[in-house]
Amino acid sequence: MEPIITVNRLTKKYGDRIAVNDISFSLYPGQVLGLLGPNGAGKTTTMRMLMGLSQPSSGSITIFGHDIRTDAKLIHPRIGVVFERSNLLENLSAYQNLALFCRLYGTPLSEIQPLLERMDLWSRAQEPVKNFSKGMKQRLLISRALIHRPPLLFLDEPASGLDPISAKIIWDYLKEQAAHGTTIILTSHDMVEVDELCDMIGFINQGHLITFERTSVLKSQYGQGTIRITYQSEQGIAVENLEPTPENLQRIHSLYAEKRIINLRSMEASLAEIFQKLCES
């Protein structure tokens, strides 16, 4: 399978300051990458270069097999971007906002209704956007970025600060797009959001990509290596964290045989813990 995007030795300097330092990675169809890192780490600078909004000092970015420096015109119609918080046309309706983009991309207007229904906005489609809540505007921005079905989507904090219902609508829709092969790159400081959406984590610190790894691998790498069992004891339901020693494994086996195990899972690290540890390393 060909990568959707390949970043090779990407570097950005502002005078003497190196904002992004020698970053390389590739992403394949359907992968969702969360770019994480502390404030000022270089995430926005990296995203801006990937979207073609800022020129790298050195290194290359290849998207859909094209070099972004020479073939941006071939790349841009096939990407979706939700980066600016509110660049919707406030006096136009939700429908009109999407219709403008449909005309721009040659997308049939018939795509608008199912998308707005999916985002729970269809009943308000004819109202000016200035009447919309923050959550509704964000859902509309994401709809607009996806109306032309781009294979690559860039997002900045897709649902942070939104209520759980708006967040869930957005997360479910993005997960559905990824399952259909859309590659997504997002930045977020919300670890719940990252956990919900990202199967890959790129951790940037002081301009360096210090980790680029599957979320599941990171969680077990940074986990405690213990097993949490919930079981029926003489006194009622009990929970214990056990080291995986031969004695403990034998005990778990016996509890299983006695049908007393209610739940058993390995203790993975949370993304917040991983973030903390990566910042300290």
From residue 18 to residue 57, what is the string marking binding to ligand ATP with x (rule CB under 6 A)? -x-----------------x-xxxxxxx------------
C-beta of 206 vs 224, nearer to ligand ATP: 206
Least spacing, CB of residue 204 vs ligand ATP, in Å: 6
Residue with tokens 């270089």: 42
Question: In sequence order, what are the residues at sequence separation of 6 or more whose Cβ sits closer than 8 angstroms to the Cβ of residue 248?
Answer: 227, 242
Dihedral sign computed on CA atoms, order 127, 132, 136, 141: positive
Which range in 13-21, 157-165, 235-243, 247-255 contacts ligand ATP by CB under 6 A? Answer: 13-21
Assess 17 for contact with ligand ATP (CB under 6 A): yes
In the complex, the smallest distance separating the C-beta of residue 277 from ligand ATP, rounded to whole angstroms, is 18
- In the set 2, 9, 14, 276, which binds ligand ATP (CB under 6 A)? 14
Nearest approach in angstroms of CB 14 to ligand ATP is 3
Q: In terms of CB distance, is 113 or 206 closer to ligand ATP?
A: 206
Tokens of 31: 């992968």
Residues in contact with 193: Cβ distance below 8 Å, sequence separation at least 6, in sequence order: 157, 158, 159, 160, 167, 171
Whichever of 4 and 41 has its CB closer to ligand ATP, that residue is: 41
Q: CB 280 → ligand ATP: shortest distance, Å? A: 17
Q: How far is the CB of 9 from ligand ATP (least distance, A)?
A: 17
CA dihedral 185, 191, 192, 197 (to 10 degrees): 20
Q: How far is the CB of 166 from ligand ATP (least distance, A)?
A: 22
In the three-class reduction of DSSP (H, G, I as helix; E, B as strand; rest coil), residue 206 is classed as: coil
DSSP letters spanning 14-56: ETTEEEEEEEEEEE-TT-EEEEE-STTSSHHHHHHHHTTSS--
Q: Residue 19 CB, nearest distance to ligand ATP (Å)?
A: 3
Query: Please, what is the Cα angle at 13 between 7 and 19, to 5 degrees?
Result: 70
Q: Which residues of 211-222 are buried (b: 16+ CB within 10 A; e: fewer)?
A: bbeebeebbeeb
Stretches 14-22, 78-86, 115-123, 273-281: which one binds ligand ATP (CB under 6 A)?
14-22
Is 206 one of the binding residues for ligand ATP (CB under 6 A)?
no
Are 145 and 81 within 8 A, CB to CB?
yes
Binding to ligand ATP by residue 160, rule CB under 6 A? no
Cβ-based nearer residue to ligand ATP, 135 or 202? 202
Q: Which DSSP string do the residues of 51-110 spell out, in sequence order?
A: TTSS--SEEEEEETTEEHHHHHHHHGGGEEEE-SS--S-TTSBHHHHHHHHHHHHT--GG
The encoded tokens of residue 276 equal 């903390």
> Would you say 44 or 226 has its CB closer to ligand ATP?
44
Residues 173-192: x where in contact with ligand ATP by CB under 6 A, - otherwise, as a string: --------------------
Instruction: Give the interface with ligand ATP as residue ranges (CB under 6 A).
Output: 14, 17, 19, 37, 39-45
